[in-house]
Chain A
Amino acid sequence: MSLEFSLLITVALILAVLGCLNGGVAYLILVERKISAWVQDRVGPNRAFYGILQPICDGVKLLLKEEMIPKYVDKIFFMIAPAIALITAFMALAVVPFGPTSPSPILIDYRQNSPTYELAVWPSTKSEYDAVIDADRSRALEKKSVSFEEQIKVYNSRIQFVLAPHVDIGILFVFAIGSLGVYGVILGGWSSNNKYSLLGSLRSSAQLISYEIPLGLSVLGVVLVTGSLNLERIIQHQVDHGWNVLFQPLAMVLFATSIFAECNRLPFDLPESEQELVGGYHTEYSSMKFALFLFGEYTHMITTSFLMMTVFFGAWHLPFITDPNDFSIFGIALKFAVAAGKTIGFIIFYMLIRWTILRFRFDQLMHLAWKIMLPISLASFTVLVFIVHFKPIGQESIWLMCPVSLAILLASGFIGIRLSKPTAHATKSKVPYLGHGTGYSVQHDSKIRLESSSR
C-alpha cells in the first residue's frame, strides 16, 4: 500500500498547465499594457477586436519576425540563455499547487508505547514495515479512527492539482530552481558581448543573490510553524489554523518585496531598466528568443504569485466559501476559482506597484536588502522561534507575532531615522547647508542662515 502515481493524470495536468500558462502569459502582457494605460490616463491597446486578439497578433508577429544574431556574440550561450530562462521558470511551477490539494497521509509509528512520533525513517525491511502498519491498524480499531491504509486509499482516489504531488522539499525546490533562473539572465547578458547587457546581467546576479536571503528567511517562519517544507502541508496547516498572513504579516511583506526583486519587477527592475541600459540583458535578442525571455519572466511572475497565495494566503481556502471536505466537481471548481482569484489579485497588485514606486538606485537596492530587510527578517524570525518554543500565552501564542511584527517594523523605522540624521560633526560644520546646487553665489543674509542653521 503506497502512494499511487498515475501517468495519465500527470501528463494531462502538465499539458493543461502548459496550455493555460501559454495563454495566460500572452494575456498577462495584454493586461499589463491595459493597466499601464489606465493608470496613465490612456486607453491602451484597443485595435484587433478591442484588444482581445492583440496577444495573438503579437505572438504571430514575434514568430514571423526575422531572427537576428549579431556577429560578435558567443553563439552557444546566446542560444541557450533564453531556453534556460524559460525552462527554470517552468520547472519551478512543478511543485506549486494551483488547485485543491490535500497533504499525503503521515505514517505514525505506534509500536513504541509512548509518546507516538512520526516515522522519521521509512522501515527498511518488509517485516518492519508490516509491524508498523499492524500497530497503526490496531490502534485505529481501538480509537475508531481512520487507519493509515484507509487514508492512503482516500488520498489516492483524489486528483491532486499539482504537477508533482507530495514533494517534501517543495518550497526548497522552488527556491533552488528559481535561483537557477539567474543563469538565463547572466548568460544572456554575458554572451551578448555588449556593455549594457553585461551591466544589466551583473546587476541582476547581485540583486537576485541578495534577495534570496530575506526571501528564504521570511518563509522560514512559515516552515517553522508548519513543521514541513511540503506546500500541501503548508496549505493544510493554514486550513486548520488560519492563514499565515494573519500571524506573520511582516514576513508576508518581506516575502512580497523579495519576490518583486526575484522577478525583476519594476521597483527592482535593474537588470532591464530600459531608461539606463537600453534593455539590459535582452538588448541583443530579437524575434522568438526575446519572446522566450519575456515568457520566462511572466511565468516567473505567475509562479511567485501562486507561491505567495499558497504560503501566506491559504491557497484555495476561503473561510465559509470553500469547504475542505467537499470533493464534488462543484467544490473543486470553487477551489480553483478561489485560487485563481487570489493569484490574479496578486498579479494585478504587481502591475499596480509598477506604476506606484520608482525604481531604486543600485546602492539603494543593496542597502534595502542587506541593511534593512535582512535584519528585520532575522529579528522577526528570532522572536518567532522564542514564541513557538516557549509559548508565553499558551497554545494561541502565535498570535503574538502580529503585534511583534508591527513593533519590529516601527522600531526599524525609528532606527532608520536615527541613522539618517546628520551627525553632530556635520551639523556643527561652519559652512551652512543651503540646499543642493547652491555651491556658488551664496548670499549670507540672516534669513538664509536662520533656515539653514535650523537643519
Chain B
Amino acid sequence: MKADEITWVKSPEFGVMDQIFLPAIFTGLVTTLTHMGSTLFGPKKDVVTQQFPEQRPHLPANYRGVHRLNRDDEGRVKCVACYMCSTACPAHCIDIVAAPSPWPDREKYPEVFVIDELRCIYCGMCEQACPVDAIELTTLYDLTGHSREEMIFNKEKLLSVFDKTVAMGTDPIRTTHGRLGVASEPASSGVTGSSSMQT
C-alpha cells in the first residue's frame, strides 16, 4: 500500500453543542423515535422479526447445522474411513470403526460412523478435513430429541440426513458451489479416482 493511498480520518472536534450533551441527546432521541415510528406505522417489511414457528428462516447455505454423510453416485457412503475428521474434531465427538471396503475402488469404508451431536460444537473442522467431501454440515438447525441416546447419530441416520437435504434442495455450500475438494474431481486430474470414474 502506497502512502498516498492512505486517507487519514480525523476524529471530529468536540464542539460546544457536543460538550453540553443535551443537543446530542436530542438528536439521538430523534433517531430512536424515527425507528419506533417506522416500526409502528411504517411498512411491514421494515420489521426484522421472523415469527419463528410459523415463519421458517431461510438460512444461508454455509450455515453449520446437523451433519450429513454424503453418498456417491451409486448411493454408497462416500467416506473412506481415513479418520481425518475425527482427528481434526476439537470436541472428539466423531467415532469411526473402519473395515475393509466391500467395493474394489477403495481400501476402507466406515463400518460404524457415529457423531455425538450433543458434544459437537458445530465448528465445521470435520468438513474441512475430509479429503473426499464425505462429511458436510447442513442448514438443518432445529435439532431436538427426547433423550441423549437419540442425539447420537449413527451412519444410517447421517445418510438419511443426506437424503432428506437432497430432497429438500438445501444442499450445503460446498455441494451447491459446484467445486468440491480435489478428491472429488475426475481421476484424469491425477488424484485418487472417485467411484463414479471406475464404473
Tell me the A residues contacting B by CB distance below 8 Å: 35, 37-43, 253, 352-353, 355-357, 409-410, 412-414, 416-417, 420, 434-435, 443, 445, 447-448, 451-452, 455
For B16, what are the chain A residues with a Cβ–Cβ distance below 8 Å? 410, 413-414, 417
B182 at the interface (CB under 8 A from A): no
CA distance A352 to B31 in the complex (A): 10
A435 and B28 form a contact (CB under 8 A): no
For B25, what are the chain A residues with a Cβ–Cβ distance below 8 Å? 353, 356-357
For A41, what are the chain B residues with a Cβ–Cβ distance below 8 Å? 35, 38-39, 46-48
**Interface residues of B, count at CB 8 A:** 30
**Chain A residue nearest in CB terms to B39:** A38
A355 and B4 form a contact (CB under 8 A): no
**Chain B residue nearest in CB terms to A42:** B49
User: What's the minimum C-beta distance from A324 to chain B, rounded to whole angstroms?
Assistant: 32
B199 at the interface (CB under 8 A from A): no
Count how many pairs of residues, one from A and one from B, have CB atoms less than 8 Å apart in the complex: 81
For A443, what are the chain B residues with a Cβ–Cβ distance below 8 Å? 3, 6
B3 and A416 form a contact (CB under 8 A): no
Q: A356-B25, A447-B8, A448-B8 are in contact. Are A43 and B49 (CB under 8 A)?
A: yes
For A253, what are the chain B residues with a Cβ–Cβ distance below 8 Å? 22
CA distance A42 to B40 in the complex (A): 10
B180 at the interface (CB under 8 A from A): no
For A451, what are the chain B residues with a Cβ–Cβ distance below 8 Å? 8, 10
CA distance A420 to B14 in the complex (A): 9
Contact indicator per residue, chain B 40-53, by CB within 8 Å of chain A (1) or not (0):
10000011110100
Tell me the B residues contacting A by CB distance below 8 Å: 3-4, 6, 8-11, 14-17, 19-20, 22, 25, 28-29, 31-33, 35-36, 38-40, 46-49, 51
For B9, what are the chain A residues with a Cβ–Cβ distance below 8 Å? 435
B10 and A455 form a contact (CB under 8 A): yes
A410 and B10 form a contact (CB under 8 A): no
A43 and B47 form a contact (CB under 8 A): yes
User: What's the minimum C-beta distance from B49 to chain A, rounded to whole angstroms?
Assistant: 4
Q: A42-B47, A414-B16, A448-B6 are in contact. Are A409 and B22 (CB under 8 A)?
A: yes
23 contacts between A and B (CB under 8 A): A37-B39, A38-B40, A39-B36, A39-B39, A41-B35, A41-B39, A42-B39, A42-B47, A353-B25, A356-B25, A356-B31, A356-B32, A409-B22, A410-B16, A412-B19, A412-B20, A416-B19, A434-B8, A435-B10, A443-B3, A445-B4, A447-B6, A451-B10
For B22, what are the chain A residues with a Cβ–Cβ distance below 8 Å? 253, 409
CA distance A353 to B29 in the complex (A): 7
CA distance A125 to B8 in the complex (A): 83
**Chain B residue nearest in CB terms to A358:** B28
B32 and A413 form a contact (CB under 8 A): no
**Chain B residue nearest in CB terms to A446:** B3
A38 and B35 form a contact (CB under 8 A): yes
For A416, what are the chain B residues with a Cβ–Cβ distance below 8 Å? 19-20
CA distance A451 to B10 in the complex (A): 8
CA distance A153 to B48 in the complex (A): 61
B19 and A413 form a contact (CB under 8 A): yes
Further contacts, 11 of them, CB under 8 A, given A356-B32, A447-B3: A41-B38, A42-B39, A352-B36, A413-B16, A413-B20, A416-B20, A417-B14, A417-B15, A445-B3, A448-B3, A451-B8
CA distance A14 to B12 in the complex (A): 54
